[in-house]
Amino acid sequence: MHGGIAQGVAQALMEEVVYDLDGNPLTSTFADYSFISATELPSFETRFTETPTPINALGAKGIGESGTIGSAPALHNAVCDAVAHLGVRHVDMPTTPIRVWNAINEAAPGNDAGKKGR
């Protein structure tokens, strides 16, 4: 669960493959690619609801994707909600600091770029 949540957080905030204008990857090694580790994450408290499956004798189901599926959109929506009062209607994922900054500046009063329905 914790690994899935970490993956969702990283997807929402930082993980991105970047290319130059000629299509060459700029994030071709881990030295160039942002990823998250345990030191950047808070502690998580998880709760479980067990619903065994009748399909197999153990009643077991996989949970590997459960943390990832909910955490990325929840975090992305939290970022968008946090800047909504500034007129921001959308921020592309990953919500990197520069993307959030640009969205705030585009939505600033008097800036016609923010009125294009992005």
Per-residue CA distances from 27 to 24, 31, 33, 77, 99 (Å): 9, 8, 5, 26, 17
What pLDDT does residue 114 have? Answer: 47
Mean pLDDT within 83-106: 95
Note if the pTM is more than 0.75. Answer: no
pLDDT of 112 > 70? The answer is no
Q: Going from the N-terminus, what domains does the chain have, and what CATH number goes with each?
A: 2-115 (3.30.365.10)
Residues in the chain: 118
pLDDT of 20 > 90? The answer is yes
